Amino acid sequence: MPDDQPQIYLITPPTFEIETFPQILARVLDSHPVACLRLALATRDEDTILRSADALREIAHARDIPIVIADHVLMVERLGLDGVHLSDTTKPLRKLRKDMGADAIIGSFCGTSQHDGINAGEAGADYVSFGPVGQTALGDGQVAPHDLFEWWSAMIELPVVAEGALNRDLIAGLAPVADFFALGDEIWAQPDPVAALMDLTQPLR
């Protein structure tokens, strides 16, 4: 992948089998360069989160890939993770940055709100993500438009992630104005996640 092209940021499925998914993830990570992995489980069962994080952390760190967890701030240090991805812009990000220190990765999902993105950056986020960028039946139907990424790319230095219902056309169109593409269900829902990732990232090669 050319150096000036966006990087891939993987999001785990909301549920997965701990006995089999780590091997699938390892194959995906070995098939294409990945900049970051987000553990984003739907469960709130602490034991499941702990076992899943332990398994995936080893795989990610063996490949020098940082791993962040969605929302569970108190789990970061305990599990030896690299940071947290906040899905709620009302979290006190500035205090979180102070508590976690400069080395921790803190990302903030800002939906379709340029204003929330600016606030997150000013409060100390390492990146912001906007989405969904594609049409989906989930949520309220709003999508993060191309001109939001275009404005951000021109005006703000903070890295921006495009996520949600991505396809090849959207990736091709947003490549000049996004720093990362976060892919999750787009590949895990397919019979062959490696092939799905290679197909989606074709516009970046």
Give 124-147 as a DSSP string.
T-SEEEE---S--SSTTS----HH
- pLDDT per 10-residue tile (average), the chain, 205 residues: 80 97 98 97 96 98 98 95 94 93 97 97 97 86 95 98 98 98 98 98 94
Question: Which architecture, in CATH terms, is 7-204?
Answer: Alpha-Beta Barrel (3.20)
Entry pTM: 0.96
Type of residue at 16: F
DSSP 103: T
Q: List alpha helices for the chain, DSSP H.
A: 21-31, 46-62, 75-79, 93-100, 114-123, 146-155, 168-174, 185-188, 193-200
